[in-house]
Chain A
Amino acid sequence: MVELAVTDLALRYGESEILKGVSVTLPAGKVVALLGPSVSGKTTLLRAVAGLETPYRGSIRIGDNVMFDAARKIELPAEARGLGLVFQSYALWPHRTVFENVAYGLKLRRVSAPDIKSRVERTLGQIGLAHLSDRYPHQLSGGQQQRVALARALIYEPAVILLDEPLSNLDAKLREEARAWLRALIVSLKLSALLVTHDQIEAMAIADHITLLNGGLIEQQGTPIDLYREPATLFAAEFMGNNNRLEGTLVENPDNKAVIEVMGDRLQGIARTSAPAGSKGTGIIRLEKVVLGGGPGPNRILMTLKTQMYIGERWELLFTKGELSVRAYTSALLKHERYHVEFPPQALWIF
């Protein structure tokens, strides 16, 4: 069953087109992440779903109810959509206690005072903040505020919960813990959630499906594994993971097996372009896929080791050859000056 369906949504601010026709579906009980760089329109899409922005084309459905339909001139105000939205800044009301913040949605829905009390207490208990219910937001840590914001959005059981960069205001250490906690909470409550993030790791970790946005259009949709292992476009390949970019010229381009010439060396890879031989091409390979060969061989380039950086569990290497530079990982410090760097054909995408 589809909980949320966004169809061909287009939106502009003045002259600039922010969304250019985006369709997303959110199956019940799943998490869909809207992933993209800062001007991709992902937050705007989320806000349009919430009813805080008005698109000029397209429709938004939640369950069987139309929330927005440009053609039929239907637009429900934000308060009538029954969604839960967790803001990036949390947007806790500073003049209300934790209890009052969380209780507000129930109060608006005319739930009786004793019921409000018991439900808020139960929810605060579930997120481990029962002892803080009389505090004011400024007396809480960032992580606690984030949980209160979540509780406030969940308390009235919205059909869909919207999360706008929910972890970005936490510091790095806390963020990783909160990520696991959030995923566990969503799964155990069987929530249907739409999550906006610019962090590909966060998207892959929390979401069941990822919609990758770029410049107001969908670049690719799929499971985290699809997106990471089978990027369809150059943008998708570069956005996910840490990559090397090899600019060159296409030499051959038959089905699924392209060859690119990079500074005199020929590399074979998976064809992701239909451009004819002779045109410019770009090879993309994840850092962790680059290997070091013992000697000359196919798909190898002889490169100079410029620098080695210790980054904890491994070393990050920088190789150069003329203007070309390539990064890779090893588990041990290297001793030689030059290496035959190998780009395995099954891990090299050629666009």
Chain B
Amino acid sequence: MTVESPAGAVPTLRVAIPFTFYRFVVIAVTAAVVLAPLSLVFYQSFLDAPFFQPAARLSLYAYRFVFADEDFWVAFGTTLLLASGMTLIAVPLGAGLAFLMVRTDVPGRNWLEPIILIPIFVSAVVLAFGYVVALGPVGILTTSMRELIGVAPWNLYSFPFLVAIAGLTHVPHVYLYAAAALRGLGSDVEEAARTAGAKPWRVALDVSLPMVLPAILFAAVLVFFLGFELFGLPLVLGDPQGVLVLSTYLFKLTNKLGVPSYQLMAVVVVAIVAITAPLVFVQRLLLREAQRYVSVRGKGVRLAALRLGAWRWAAFAAIALWFVFSVVLPLAGITLRSFVETWGEGIALSEVLTLDHYRELLDYPNVVRSMINTLGIGVIGGAAAVVFYTAIALAVHRWPSQWTRIIDYLVMLPRAMPGLVAGLALLWVFLFFKPITPLRQTLVSVWLAYTVVWLAYGMRLVSGTLLQVAPELEEAGRTTGASETRVKFDVTLPLIRAGMLASWLLIFLIFVREYSTGIYLLGPGTEVIGSLVISLWGTGAIDLVSALSVVNVGMIGIGLLIAIRLGVRLHG
């Protein structure tokens, strides 16, 4: 038995371009993309006029102005109240929902999960419109109730209502983390408590809850943080009665002084980021803490579901009630509204049904463009974003170097910018750097803003996939004679193809849903459904808004169906 070479000696290998070079290029690009908008905002906040005016000078004028504005402090207080309130609602409900779904025999636990996650994927602004057309003063349900009992039993435009809606629509965020933690718990730690003599409820309280507490705490900070990002709900539901939060205050500032008051907006952005950045950092610490318990996960069979007995259907009804209020009601409302000419007291549904609003969509070039653009940014832009995230992830993947920490923090930074803020910052970047200014009127600007805003999320998706590639598979490539670059192309990338496809789908969903990031970039040619409906809402074109919202939900629905069909996990 011999292995011999036909041509004698084996030819030597060629020398490859060092992969390290690529790594540093990627770090530089990422740093530029992340730091440019942030630094520009920071710089602008210390000017006394927009940066493009030659007269702009360094000063603290903008800070003095904003901090002296009573509205700013009111908005700040309202934001705190809103964020705290929604956290108080979402956390117990989300944790309870997770417990019901993971640990009990509540009916439907096998098919409910994707449905529970729907609010994450539906644009908040669409939900807000839905609530207005369903529960608003002249809403479909409100008028029906008024016909029935003579008065409107609720006032949608009240602060408690806003808090409740924000809280209920964020239940899935808490659910995701709590459920994952509950599933990650080894059944052995619970079985140990059972065999030691603890009853199921005691086990839940003494073992399961303490062990998932870090995850719940993480989710609480996340929801609180998302409270500072809220834009669509307060804009639509709070604005009519003059309730301002920081994001809507920022939005209103745009025209406060008649001229673009960039310096004031920059100060508000700095204020928002000063609050959100520490929250992002705390989340990171908490996530590490939460993962500490993952290492103690045991193997073995699932613990038998806790029997709820007669309470099974009560639990199911509670879940259904939540779902009807947070998803069905607003979506049904907006859908119904899109198919009727008008709505009011004493109108029979059969007389007002129409498809006109959908036909009208095609009459407006900007609306047509927004639909095409939304699909394009979801499909093509989503793919490009995944390529970008993969390029970064590959550069730092299994790199034993301190530089990976820098990338970690860089990637985390944009998370501290709410979409509205990031869109504004990117707009300034395009205005400030003259060579790229022409790109502002193209979808490239919107794509870049989306990609930066979702950098942390996308990176988590791609790195999660990369981590599943066993290190030996790459090492085997190296020892066989392939350079680092070659191994990435021949081994790593082919192995993460499925994961990249899944990431693409999720990024598609998010990009199609996105509304706030595109607002400041909105212009002829850069319309996307999300930002266009907000601007149309301001003009009162409710027919168009309803139809366009339904189109948006339809796109997301199709994407979700494909994702579920392909078995994509809906959370990274």
Contact = CB atoms under 8 A, between A and B. Distances in A.
Contact of A123 (B3, B6, B7, B490): B3
B478 A77 contact: yes
A185 B479 contact: no
Which of B10, B472, B479 is most buried by chain A, counting CB atoms within 10 A of its CB? B479
Contacts of B10: 82, 109, 111, 156-157
B2 to A, nearest CB: 7
A83 interface: yes
Which of A51, A80, A83, A108 is most buried by chain B, counting CB atoms within 10 A of its CB? A108
B13 interface: yes
A108 B482 contact: yes
Nearest to B480: A105
B481 A188 contact: no
Given A79-B482, A109-B481, A153-B480, A87 B7 contact: no
B481 A79 contact: yes
A155 interface: yes
Nearest to A155: B3
A142 B4 CA distance: 27
A50 B6 CA distance: 26
B13 A85 contact: no
B11 A50 contact: no
Contacts of B25: none
Interface in B1-29: 1-7, 10-13
Contacts of B479: 50-52, 78-79, 81, 83-85, 153, 162
A115 interface: yes
B478 A51 contact: yes
Contact of B486 (A80, A108, A157): A108
Interface in A92-130: 92-95, 104-105, 108-111, 115, 118-119, 122-123, 126
A157 B3 contact: yes
B484 interface: yes
Given A78-B478, A78-B479, A95-B495, A115 B473 contact: no
B282 to A, nearest CB: 27
A85 B13 CA distance: 17
Contacts of A78: 475, 478-479
Interface in A152-194: 152-157, 162, 185, 188-189
B470 interface: yes
B481 A105 contact: yes
Contact of B6 (A51, A88, A118): A118
Contact of A188 (B1, B7, B11): B1
Interface size class of A (residues with CB under 8 A): 35 or more
Interface in B438-491: 470, 472-473, 475-484, 486, 490-491
B480 A95 contact: no
Contacts of A79: 13, 478-484, 486
B494 interface: yes
A222 B452 CA distance: 61
Given A93-B476, A109-B11, A189-B3, A156 B481 contact: yes
Contacts of A185: 1
A89 B472 contact: yes
Given A50-B479, A83-B479, A115 B13 contact: no
A94 B473 CA distance: 9
Contact of A108 (B1, B2, B480, B494): B480
A87 B4 CA distance: 23
A91 interface: yes
Given A52-B479, A105-B480, A189-B1, A80 B13 contact: yes
Nearest to A81: B479
Interface in B482-536: 482-484, 486, 490-491, 494-495
Contacts of A123: 3
Given A52-B478, A104-B490, A109-B481, 4 more contacts: A81-B479, A87-B476, A91-B470, A109-B12
19 contacts: A79-B13, A81-B479, A89-B470, A93-B473, A93-B495, A104-B477, A104-B480, A108-B481, A108-B482, A109-B13, A109-B481, A110-B11, A111-B10, A115-B6, A118-B6, A126-B3, A162-B479, A188-B2, A189-B1
Nearest 4 A/B pairs, CB to CB: A91-B472, A78-B478, A85-B479, A91-B476
